[in-house]
Structure 1
């Protein structure tokens, strides 16, 4: 995108809605997205930083007057400068505190949406981080009113924000102060952390409502954002004309110090702003970001709390439905490409089906998420089984039709002789057997008969048994003793024919069952690998949260804030409990039970005895 487009706009009735054009653009992006949003007071230079992250001079409208330019939330998408195969999505937001709006509710919506949609949130302010600056970011302390983690009532919702919220970067512009604290030099990050320490009321009295409000904002920033960073920027130039035309001037017209600070800021964002996650484990691409923007905007502007769990669940249903459709379509398309009906043997079509089904399974597993009850995996397996059985049936039908037509053509002379009674003569039985032998040899030498070749031949031979017995009994060239011998041979052939037909049938069933065993073992393997990967990611999220909460607890203890330290200790205990519950073997065992039920439901009764799903899954897990 050379130019930004409005993603979320204000409506005439005071609400907000997504822009269809922007949603369409996002829906075309299949790569994982890194989303960087910037918020802050209007006319503080937010758009300039966004343009620098985009690597361009122009793009987001800078404006040069006291009137705010950006309305709503604007979006620009481009290939990520340092992460190959990823898209960088930049969100420039409407300035907070615009006197022309007179609507503080709109500011709150903007702040919440920027937080919910981003993987890095930049808060832009001027000069210093003082009491006034803390007061102006009061939106942080009010977010719990508009954002929920879980759908059910949960008093600990805020405690889980740090696992879902973006990294927080405070950009302080036009700085003139020296970075010192108690006469000693400090870093930018130390400056931010010092500013976020709780303030005590004067004269040792209990804090006023104003102090409590400011402290609440500090507490929320510390609690919600586990990764915090501060950048301080000098004034770009002392030349007022240059300041008013920042999108027109070259970098060498700006302060070298300011340009170094800007490059450091961009480098940090490129390196540390990670892929946006929908929940603990599932990466967001352009299409799912479009879903998130649509659902969050609707929920917030409808004066409802935006529930992250509900939104992700709704998206998962849509995505899992697509996963089932794409995976099953892949199976069907690839089978059509690779299989020419009828196949020469059952092994051929089973092998090709297995290859295509494994490919389809990988597609399903890659795209599906939060399919905890395996409902969509069940749908996938059911549809694949149906398509496979239909294809196998078609393969058998085409083979049978072809073979029946072939043997009818080859045995035409035999049938004519039978109809005319040509074999009811002395020596006729020998001629009949020789003709049957000739037909069998010629039939077997014909190529591409398919899976029903042997069955059609055996049925043909069986259909001529009575003809052979009649001819043999009327053959005067045979003595009674020879007839008894021939009759016994015929009965023996009949028994052998029946045995062979039953053996062929058992062999086919065994091959199909072995095929099913491999397929469902592959299902368990893929499922186990996915659960293991997701467990590792969730454990990492919980570990990071635990580290963050432990640091905050210790800091509050050092400041003598026992109440806050105790609150964090309770949160630490809750996270530790979640860690213990997040056990891969138990999660796998639960999934195995569900999938085992699914597979026994899908398979025909004769096949169900062939598998021990739980032991099979455990065996795979041990490997």
Structure 2
């Protein structure tokens, strides 16, 4: 089971220094680095002193935690983090981010507000915008820096004509929380939902060509463009009692207005249900340790260049994470082998089967942690290192077996060796006695268990070492005629040839076993990689379909409102997204899409075992074809 963590209180994740520089807090990064579970990240932004921290405490399931503050000064500086077990998603961690209030008059730095907002967007899977009163022009004007997101956030490092359309693929869901709402949800005399209220507030004025209308429309256009998935919640005043409002973290729910309590629960339930695991380019599910790297890299990018390129950030993070993935997986393999291997094993299959089991577990670990592994660079490193480690264990197994067998031979042949040194067999009939004693040693040796896979090799080596001694004893044994000596000499020579042949066959058999095992290793790596590719394709397809649906909704809205210019822009974006979806669909329907992977694994196989290249190539192609057919089904 993946490891998670529960924090008793929030800590600062991104500190806003007195010099106006943003920097990550090592303590918070260390906490995140220990979280191996997928993270659902909820960030809240909004004007200072609007009660953001109260909502975050409710999401944390606690009455106090994030500092609410009761005076007119902003309390939260930078971005604070609180990690809690997710209340509805098992083995997931809920990461809550409470941001520094926007529009702090004491700070008076609009650029700082933009950077804080930008980081909240980049880091979250659900972004809550908190405001008071109503959704009016003033409230929307406070969000005017949403239009500057394209200046701070780039999807790709190279020029990209579809930047605005692509941003919405990677942006979080947007939730507007309107606090102290006292109006009725009525438009044109009809009761409406909270979502209807938000969408009505985001309607454009036409014609758009007047300066006044352009200023009115600007924040609305950007919100609708970048945040296709939107939700609205309105909250009554928690209490009419000013003292209660000033001590919210001490007041039990029974002393608050029932409507406010119900609205707060509805808000939390929606977040728990709809906010998904944080995802970025190439990382379908972000875990806590990956999120730590993202937070560090995004903060440095925003602080140093005022531009965060998502593609560059992910590549930078992937380089570090993939190196760590290789090291951790190899260490896991080594530890599991040391824990479970009992040397010497009786057969080569036993050590190879154990190794394969440990390899598969290590590969699964590597696959979970690695991402954006261009040309399988790091997976190839993993394969190469695993093969070397496996060979080390095989050699260790052979050495242990050899030592064990030599010690056994030495023990069983002690009397025999003593007799040889004393010339016991250099007598009349000594050759027969020599053969009988050597046969007894051989038979006893074979009955002894636990010798390992070098048992035959050590025995044959020992028998061959006695060939010259046997020849001398045979020549000096006067109990035998010359003809008998010739026959015995011929038998001994034939026996040695048999031993050499058996040794050659044994080595060839073990070589073949190891080659077969290497093919199985490649097969497993191929299967895992293609499954990961298929998963990423399915995820990207679902994301494109979601964004196309959202864009179609906006297109319909603008068409109904008579905003033809905006409708045309959305139509063009939809066509571009459909084209990408079609390209992805073609790729998913083409078995040749696996060809780059096939070629990569053929090269790896050739480097590790050149003799296997032809056989491995055929096997790899068959695997790719089978996987493609399974995927189509």
Distance 1:57 1:101, change over 3 A: same
Which residue of 107, 112, 122 maps to 2:113? Answer: 107
Work out whether 1:567 is the aligned partner of 2:569. Answer: yes
Aligned with 1:70: secondary structure?
coil
Structure 1: distance between partners of 2:65 and 2:448:
72
Structure 1: distance between partners of 2:601 and 2:384:
12
Does the aligned pair in 2 maintain the 1:280–1:541 contact within 8 Å? no
Structure 2: distance between partners of 1:386 and 1:45:
58
Structure 1: distance between partners of 2:270 and 2:437:
87
Does the aligned pair in 2 maintain the 1:36–1:119 contact within 8 Å? yes
Does the aligned pair in 1 maintain the 2:428–2:479 contact within 8 Å? yes
Q: Which residue of 2 aligns with 1:472?
A: 474
Aligned with 1:206: secondary structure?
coil
Q: Which residue of 1 aligns with 2:123?
A: 117
Work out whether 1:198 is the aligned partner of 2:201. Answer: no
Query: Residue by residue, what CA displacement relative to the aligned partner does 1:356-378 show, whole Å, maximum 9, x if unpaired?
Result: 11221111122211113111111
Q: Which residue of 1 aligns with 2:4?
A: none
| TM-score, normalised relative to structure 1 | 0.93
Does the aligned pair in 1 maintain the 2:283–2:372 contact within 8 Å? no
Moved over 6 A (4+): none
Q: Which residue of 1 aligns with 2:168?
A: 162
Superposed counterparts of 1:581-620, under 5 Å: 581-582=583-584, 583-584=587-588, 585-601=591-607, 603-608=608-613, 610-612=615-617, 613-618=619-624, 620=626
Superposed counterparts of 1:193-592, under 5 Å: 193-201=199-207, 206-208=209-211, 210-279=212-281, 281-419=283-421, 422-582=424-584, 583-584=587-588, 585-592=591-598
Query: Residue by residue, what CA displacement relative to the aligned partner does 1:539-574 show, whole Å, maximum 9, x if unpaired?
Result: 111111121122222322233333322222222222
Structure 2: distance between partners of 1:399 and 1:353:
17
Work out whether 1:150 is the aligned partner of 2:156. Answer: yes
User: Number of paired residues?
Assistant: 618
Moved more, 264-273 or 559-568: 559-568
Aligned with 2:80: secondary structure?
strand
Structure 1: distance between partners of 2:167 and 2:72:
35
Structure 2: distance between partners of 1:199 and 1:58:
43
CA shift at 1:587, angstroms? 4.3
Work out whether 1:17 is the aligned partner of 2:23. Answer: yes
Distance 1:64 1:459, change over 3 A: closer
CA shift at 1:108, angstroms? 0.6
| TM-score, normalised relative to structure 2 | 0.92
Aligned with 2:90: secondary structure?
coil
Q: Which residue of 1 aligns with 2:3?
A: none
Structure 1: distance between partners of 2:96 and 2:162:
31
Structure 1: distance between partners of 2:144 and 2:62:
32
Does the aligned pair in 1 maintain the 2:206–2:563 contact within 8 Å? no
Aligned with 2:568: secondary structure?
helix
CA shift at 1:383, angstroms? 1.4
Aligned with 2:236: secondary structure?
coil
Gaps of 5+ in 2: 1-6
Does the aligned pair in 2 maintain the 1:521–1:616 contact within 8 Å? no
Root-mean-square deviation (Å): 2.3
CA shift at 1:470, angstroms? 3.8
Moved more, 219-228 or 457-466: 457-466
Structure 2: distance between partners of 1:460 and 1:610:
38
Does the aligned pair in 1 maintain the 2:555–2:570 contact within 8 Å? yes
Q: Which residue of 1 aligns with 2:142?
A: 136
CA shift at 1:419, angstroms? 4.9
CA shift at 1:231, angstroms? 1.1
Distance 1:598 1:571, change over 3 A: farther
Structure 2: distance between partners of 1:245 and 1:112:
31
CA shift at 1:331, angstroms? 1.3
Structure 2: distance between partners of 1:468 and 1:545:
86
Aligned with 2:281: secondary structure?
coil
Gaps of 5+ in 1: none
Query: Residue by residue, what CA displacement relative to the aligned partner does 1:361-419 show, whole Å, maximum 9, x if unpaired?
Result: 11112221111311111111111111111121122123223323433443344445555
